[in-house]
């Protein structure tokens, strides 16, 4: 039987987290490690730390 995973509040891209890129790599590595044993991965809450006003404003510093 495969597992179901829930992930929330990762806040990827947050400028408040000094080691943000390290956190991103750790998350990708985790997802890579479960991919064969996961029935589903549900992403909840603030996965990305990104403020926007849909179709109107993208603040400077939030694009790559």
Q: Which domain holds residue 64?
A: 1-64
pLDDT confidence of residue 62 = 59
> Which of the four pLDDT bands, split at 50, 70 and 90, describes residue 8?
very high
Q: What is the pTM of this model?
A: 0.69
Q: How many domains does the chain have?
A: 1
CA 47 to chain centre: 4
Angle at 37 between CA 27 and CA 12, to 5 degrees: 15
């Amino acid at each position: 039987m495969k597992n179901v995973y829930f992930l929330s509040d990762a806040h990827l891209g947050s400028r408040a987290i000094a080691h943000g890129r390290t956190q991103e790599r750790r998350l990708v590595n985790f997802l890579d490690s479960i991919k064969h044993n996961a029935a589903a991965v549900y992403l909840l809450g603030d996965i990305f730390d990104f403020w926007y006003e849909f179709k109107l404003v993208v603040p400077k510093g939030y694009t790559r």
